[in-house]
Structures are given as structure tokens and as C-alpha cells.
Amino acid sequence: MHIPSVPLSVIALLAASALAIVLSPLAGSQIQAAPSYVPIGVASNGGTSTAWFHEPYTRQALACQTVVTTNAGLSSIQCIAVKLP
């Protein structure tokens, strides 16, 4: 009975591929992309509400306002960001 032999280079290639597959999720980026906005205040007038936020690290102020339509009620929220001096 003849047992086929596998070349050492094929075994090394398979082992390296398996190692790369196992380690690839660990090589992801560790960038913190989520801003940390601090709420400043809120105001409402009739059916419209506005909220203000501040992001200390980038020195940005953010204001978000609800947009109300007559037939649909609350339809969206619009925001604007401004870099503080």
C-alpha cells in the first residue's frame, strides 16, 4: 500500500493561511469614530423643538431641530454643526 506524501511547502502554506484567517479580525482599526457630544440645552416652540450639543475635543457646537409637516407630523430632524473659535 502506497501512502501519498504531501510536500512540506504545501503544509507550510496551509498553516500560514490558517494563521492569517485567525489573526485578521484582530488587525482591525482601533479608531474611536463616535463623537462624544455633551448636551447643552433644549427649547420648544409650538410643534418645533431644538436641542444644542457641544463636542469638547473638536470644539464643535451642534444644533438639531425637528421638522414638522402638516399632514405627516414629525417628518425629520435637521442638524447643523459649527466649529467654535
Where are the chain's structural domains? 36-85
First to last CA, the chain: 83
The contacts of residue 64 (CB under 8 Å, 6+ apart) are: 50, 51, 53, 77, 78, 79
53: pLDDT strictly greater than 90:
yes
31: pLDDT strictly greater than 70:
no
26: pLDDT strictly greater than 80:
no
Q: Strands, E, within 8-72: which ranges?
A: 38-45, 48-55, 60-69
Q: What is the pLDDT of residue 48?
A: 83
User: pLDDT-based confidence at 46, cuts 50/70/90?
Assistant: confident
The closest of 77, 37, 80 to 57, measured between CA atoms, is 37
- DSSP per-residue string spanning 40-53: EEEEEETTEEEEEE
Contact 51, 38 (CB under 8 A): no
User: Mean of the pLDDT values across residues 61-70?
Assistant: 87
